[in-house]
Structure 1
Amino acid sequence: MNASTRTFDIAITMGDPAGIGPEIICRALVAMSAEERASSLVVGDPAIFRRAAATLDAKLNFVPLDQASEGDDSVAVAVVEVPKGVEIPDGRISAAAGDMSFRCVKAAVDLVQSGRARVIVTAPLNKAALHEAGHHYDGHTGMLASLTGAPSSFMLLASETLSTLHVSTHVSLSGAIERVSKERITETVEAGHAHLLAMGIESPRIAVAGLNPHCGEGGIFGDEDTRIIAPAVEALKARGFAVSGPISADTVFYRASRGEFDLVVAQYHDQGHIPVKLIAFDTTVNVSLGLPIQRTSVDHGTAFDIAWQGRADATNMGSAIAYARRLAAGAGE
């Protein structure tokens, strides 16, 4: 079967070409079985992927999607080329790199929406480069929501030990407090519950973290926990969700890591990111929920300081790909 007509399990975007994305993708491709490689395609400029493979001395044959054939041991590429005459400096922020990041994600969204791929896996982009190119998003999650027309989206950090889903992510701390609402907490729990069911957890146990120290200590340190979060949790319980909270953030993540909960709903970015990254920095997967498409990602940045030196570690990319294959298996059924 020609690669231009078959459906691939995953589409891996190049990320910021000035960073480590192309390298970690090549390392991950080398680690795949022939069958896994045949069910994957990459999105970006073939010349950049070939350069990354040469940097790693990796024997990979990148072929444009419309020319690749199943079983020929090549890697199919949905081509998004750097414009002629445009230079992208290694390890530096540039509008050209930011625009390439955006164009690759948009192409991957088109592939999924047209039925050509089941799940997107994204390599890291740089937000400053993205903004320099005129694409004013808070990161992949907001970009994907915009590209797919989704009214909202949620960031899940998933690991074997601890998983967190966020009420808000890339906003200021004052902005995060303003976004704590009964409606948003309810939507976040619903999205997490649906995802855990899809991942095979029959009765998901979800904990909702408090916002203030000790959940406000009866209003001494703020009333959002009793005024907003607790009523949202009680309403969810009344609907049959196995949800607990608000639980003080200084204990809830420990309890979840010991197996008491399948998921913790964190109220803001750092509240959820810090414990997960502390426990499983190299293997945590970033998953976008609430979208009409499915997407996983590495949970690290572009690492400009080591880019294009053959030093980048692909462990996290491997975890993101493995999680995406689990999602793709469900999408293909």
Structure 2
Amino acid sequence: MVNQAKAHIAIPMGDPAGIGPEITVKSLAKAEIYDVCKPVVVGHTEVMKKALAVTHTNLEINEISEPEEGKYEHGTIDMINLDNLNIDHLEWGVVQAQCGRAAFQYIKKSVELALEGKVAAIATTPINKESLKAGEVPYIGHTEMLEDLTNSRDPLTMFEVRNLRIFFLTRHVSLKDAISQMTKERVFEYIGRCEEALKRLGVENPLIAVAGLNPHSGENGLFGREEVDEIKPGIEMAVEKGYRAVGPVPADSVFYQALQGKYDAVLSLYHDQGHIAAKMTDFERTISITNGLPFLRTSVDHGTAFDIAGKNIASSVSMEECIKLAAKYAPNFRS
């Protein structure tokens, strides 16, 4: 089981045709990563060698079969090689069925390691929806995979960037459908889930602000009834239950106030509301945390960037932050 001072962090390599291998290599070239954790890459050795060559990075690959076998020394990449690609047919920046299948297998293996207690967390690199579809992988993204592979229910996404934490009441649905999901029951439920997630991350007695939907949070029904009829009653239900929740706070100010420390987290009502706030704060350092799983999962919040894959252009800042955040919170997830 994972009981060392430094936690083992699994890093599935991502889509082999995307920037995942490159940003993994660049991140593991940084000594500070090894100061905080024991990173285990799950992927394909030959792809990692290509990434080393492309990035002009001089690191040794140490193939292992179990995390406990790793060296975890700066200058060495400890790697579980699944050898699941025809490397001769691999092309940077191209949708390929074999890459979609391989990316899923890296994630599946990482999940198995986490469920077995051999790693404390997973820090994921980008995967590509088109590649997954071409490879007949029956999931559209990480969250759906993780939900199914762990038999979890509706994982809760949280963004962290600097001093700002953002949860999401709704995810990948149209704005019209998102509004229809903004019921007082759902607001109440999600405030409770947010508090539970924050406490597991080590935030004691958290104060959660719920963002408003309409301009100025509707001005008591002047600009819309959603706050009056659903959002505020849901917050009141949560307060009656003993949760520390306030709002709805106008969305044009609540995220800034949370960044300044007034709130421990904000419950964003729909996808772009929270995404814009986080990414405008610091695009590269916005990291996604998936709560509600049996283990901790962090992720970069960008895609496979096929247009620049294999060109040594991709920044690794987000991946570095992703790994560091996994290491920061991993102790809170140890049994």
TM-score (norm 2): 0.90
Q: What displacement does 1:67 show?
A: 7.9
- Residue type at the aligned position of 2:215: P
1:65 and 2:64 matched: yes
Residues 18-33 of structure 1: matches in 2 within 5 Å?
18-33=17-32
Deviation readout 1:116-157 (Å, 9 max, x if unpaired): 111000001112222222234342122211211111112111
Instruction: Label 1:94 to 1:37 Cα distance change in 2 as closer, same or farther (>3 A).
Output: farther
Corresponding residue for 1:14? 13
Which range moved further: 48-57 or 269-278? 48-57
Instruction: Label 1:124 to 1:235 Cα distance change in 2 as closer, same or farther (>3 A).
Output: same
The question of whether the paired residues in 2 share the 8 Å contact of 1:207 and 1:265 is answered with yes
Corresponding residue for 1:233? 235
Q: CA RMSD in A?
A: 2.4
Q: Name stretches of at least 5 consecutive residues in structure 1 with no aligned partner.
A: none
| Whole-angstrom distance in 1 between the partners of 2:136 and 2:181 | 26
Q: What displacement does 1:163 show?
A: 1.9
| Whole-angstrom distance in 2 between the partners of 1:200 and 1:72 | 27
SS at match of 1:163: strand
Q: What displacement does 1:254 show?
A: 2.3
| Whole-angstrom distance in 1 between the partners of 2:209 and 2:270 | 14
Q: Name stretches of at least 5 consecutive residues in structure 2 with no aligned partner.
A: none
| Whole-angstrom distance in 2 between the partners of 1:178 and 1:212 | 14
- Residue type at the aligned position of 2:301: D
Corresponding residue for 1:46? 45
Instruction: Label 1:110 to 1:302 Cα distance change in 2 as closer, same or farther (>3 A).
Output: same
The question of whether the paired residues in 1 share the 8 Å contact of 2:66 and 2:80 is answered with no
The question of whether the paired residues in 2 share the 8 Å contact of 1:37 and 1:75 is answered with no
| Whole-angstrom distance in 1 between the partners of 2:239 and 2:33 | 47
- Residue type at the aligned position of 1:259: G
Residues 84-163 of structure 1: matches in 2 within 5 Å?
84=86, 87-163=89-165
Q: What displacement does 1:11 show?
A: 0.1
| Whole-angstrom distance in 2 between the partners of 1:72 and 1:297 | 21
Corresponding residue for 1:218? 220
Instruction: Label 1:309 to 1:112 Cα distance change in 2 as closer, same or farther (>3 A).
Output: same
Instruction: Label 1:94 to 1:184 Cα distance change in 2 as closer, same or farther (>3 A).
Output: farther
The question of whether the paired residues in 1 share the 8 Å contact of 2:13 and 2:41 is answered with yes
Identity of aligned residues (%): 36
Which range moved further: 94-103 or 104-113? 94-103
Residues 134-213 of structure 1: matches in 2 within 5 Å?
134-213=136-215
The question of whether the paired residues in 1 share the 8 Å contact of 2:36 and 2:324 is answered with no
| Whole-angstrom distance in 2 between the partners of 1:37 and 1:252 | 32
TM-score (norm 1): 0.90
Q: What displacement does 1:234 show?
A: 0.7
Corresponding residue for 2:306? 304
Which range moved further: 169-178 or 19-28? 169-178
Deviation readout 1:257-291 (Å, 9 max, x if unpaired): 22211111001110100011001111111110122
SS at match of 1:144: helix
Corresponding residue for 1:278? 280
Corresponding residue for 1:330? 332
The number of aligned residues is 328
